[in-house]
Structure 1
């Protein structure tokens, strides 16, 4: 387990999947991250690559060959190597090999940089295409946060999600595990969204951000603690498992979507797919403030 620490926070990162498994307040000991209770969801904050969400029947076709890949791809279950590390920053990397090519016929280098500054953890995502041909992929993050936070007087329904800028967003419905991107619905977020488990009875709430910088804050009026995620991404998911009464919520920046209900199965037609020319690097980032 890797450790980043400053005067305010201590962060633990597992090189397997480059998963942030713990963020604790140094003074109070408050744990912000979901602790992967398998009775609800056995992960903390997986990285989603080279797909976000699920493929139709967990399959896709590329250049007349069929491939099988499970939900959210394989990066979360493979080790990353340490490229650089200081007390407050670590660079982790994963590259293609024969095993990844069996399910994903592309060469890639995936680099994640985690940097701790004051009360904020910034994550930089970089995908490099070392080949001449176009690289097709999606990428995302899936951090889960305790709700309520440890020691809080509040319960799940005392928490709210506040989105800035405050406006009406387009929400992409899910039909089973498929995105219905052709039938978005309006979601008024001019006021905070009060959490309720029923909010997730059709899986995640998926907001279309159109790559505009957006801050999504998870907080309660019962105390001063919460988290705020800031990102400029195409989409953001808000998720807690249903019908389980799970004591956590995920705030998920996505550069991709699950297969559409009308998906052809051709990988290059996949909704929300990123296209990266040979020799180029895709770069994105998000930051989470813990308070």
Structure 2
């Protein structure tokens, strides 16, 4: 039987989804992010708790939710319908609290749904009325994130969201299984061959390759599998010095998409778009 527990830590409220020896922890106050995943006797995620509990800092760890954009905009601005707007890196959701909209559990799953609505404040930088529902689900050793985006405005609404998982992978020579044969290295702004191993040690900037689904060596005996639906056309990989994590991030589009209009999803009024990402571990073959 699966269950959901609530608890407080250092002034923040959390939900813990539990079942079959696994658990997922979610913090609505921190952009609805997953802060911990424990499956197959492993802790999947890195977390710098100092940043988690300091509301003045961006969280280094967990799975930050990047909405309505993933990535950066030059000068942190973009133009839409002949007006210029300011937008912080990775959008709006990750720095704002989400509301709990519902939760359920049974013999085979536990899940919690959070919601992020447009406000007068969000419309200053993103001139649309929207609702973003985020459902985090634990079932059968797999963690699923479902993101349902509804446009409440009169015209089409551009989005290019993503997720920013900090996986507890120490080896910066990342072994990968992916359909991609090349990657783009933002450190030298060059396209390079992708042959199954990606050396990230010493890289300050990220790299990106096509396809949102990928397998990576979690350690000597287990692989981490990321299954993203067709909306996620790219995977971004990023490290920060010697910190014990590797970020493997499914993105819909590249940096600057709101300015280039390349890869954007245009959400039609009252025609919701649903995106899905799954995470799990499997034994290495």
TM-score, scaled relative to structure 1: 0.79
Per-residue CA deviation, residues 113-171 of structure 1 (Å, 9 max, x unaligned), is 111112110111111112220101110001111123xxxxxxx25x6332244x524x2
Question: Does structure 1 residue 271 correspond to structure 2 residue 275?
Answer: no
Tell me the equivalent position of 2:3: none
CA RMSD after TM alignment: 2.5
CA distance in 1 between counterparts of 2:200 and 2:96 reads 34
Tell me the equivalent position of 1:197: 201
Question: Does structure 1 residue 35 correspond to structure 2 residue 34?
Answer: no
- Once the two structures are TM-superposed, the CA of residue 52 in structure 1 deviates from its matched residue by 1.3
Q: State whether residues 151 and 157 of structure 2, in contact with CA within 8 Å, keep that contact through their aligned partners in structure 1.
A: yes
Q: Which structure has more RCO (C-alpha within 8 Å, separation ≥ 6)?
A: 1
Alignment of 1:134-149 (within 5 A): 134-148=156-170
Q: State whether residues 160 and 220 of structure 1, in contact with CA within 8 Å, keep that contact through their aligned partners in structure 2.
A: no
Paired positions, count: 256
Tell me the equivalent position of 1:11: 24
Summarize the Cα distance change of 1:121–1:101 in structure 2 as closer, same or farther, 3 Å threshold.
same
- Once the two structures are TM-superposed, the CA of residue 249 in structure 1 deviates from its matched residue by 0.5
CA distance in 1 between counterparts of 2:187 and 2:127 reads 28
Q: State whether residues 169 and 219 of structure 2, in contact with CA within 8 Å, keep that contact through their aligned partners in structure 1.
A: no
CA distance in 2 between counterparts of 1:270 and 1:175 reads 24
Q: State whether residues 132 and 279 of structure 1, in contact with CA within 8 Å, keep that contact through their aligned partners in structure 2.
A: no
Alignment of 1:191-270 (within 5 A): 192-193=196-197, 195-198=199-202, 200-201=203-204, 203-209=205-211, 214-221=213-220, 224-232=221-229, 233-241=232-240, 244-259=241-256, 267=258, 269-270=260-261
Summarize the Cα distance change of 1:25–1:278 in structure 2 as closer, same or farther, 3 Å threshold.
closer
Tell me the equivalent position of 2:9: none
Tell me the equivalent position of 1:50: 68
Summarize the Cα distance change of 1:116–1:41 in structure 2 as closer, same or farther, 3 Å threshold.
closer
Deviation above 4 Å: which 4+ runs of structure 1?
37-41
- Once the two structures are TM-superposed, the CA of residue 31 in structure 1 deviates from its matched residue by 2.4
Summarize the Cα distance change of 1:185–1:3 in structure 2 as closer, same or farther, 3 Å threshold.
same
Summarize the Cα distance change of 1:38–1:193 in structure 2 as closer, same or farther, 3 Å threshold.
farther
Which of 28, 35, 38 is equivalent to 1:21? 35
- Once the two structures are TM-superposed, the CA of residue 268 in structure 1 deviates from its matched residue by 6.0
> Once structures 1 and 2 are overlaid, which stretch shifts more, 41-50 or 244-253?
41-50
- Once the two structures are TM-superposed, the CA of residue 41 in structure 1 deviates from its matched residue by 6.5
Q: State whether residues 130 and 280 of structure 1, in contact with CA within 8 Å, keep that contact through their aligned partners in structure 2.
A: no
Alignment of 1:14-163 (within 5 A): 14-16=27-29, 17-25=31-39, 28=41, 30-36=42-48, 42-87=60-105, 88-148=110-170, 156-157=171-172, 160-163=174-177
Q: State whether residues 210 and 233 of structure 2, in contact with CA within 8 Å, keep that contact through their aligned partners in structure 1.
A: yes
Summarize the Cα distance change of 1:118–1:255 in structure 2 as closer, same or farther, 3 Å threshold.
same
- Once the two structures are TM-superposed, the CA of residue 196 in structure 1 deviates from its matched residue by 4.2
> Tell me, which stretches of 5 or more residues in structure 1 are unaligned?
149-155, 261-266
- Once the two structures are TM-superposed, the CA of residue 44 in structure 1 deviates from its matched residue by 2.1
> Tell me, which stretches of 5 or more residues in structure 2 are unaligned?
1-13, 52-57
Tell me the equivalent position of 1:152: none
Q: State whether residues 144 and 250 of structure 1, in contact with CA within 8 Å, keep that contact through their aligned partners in structure 2.
A: yes
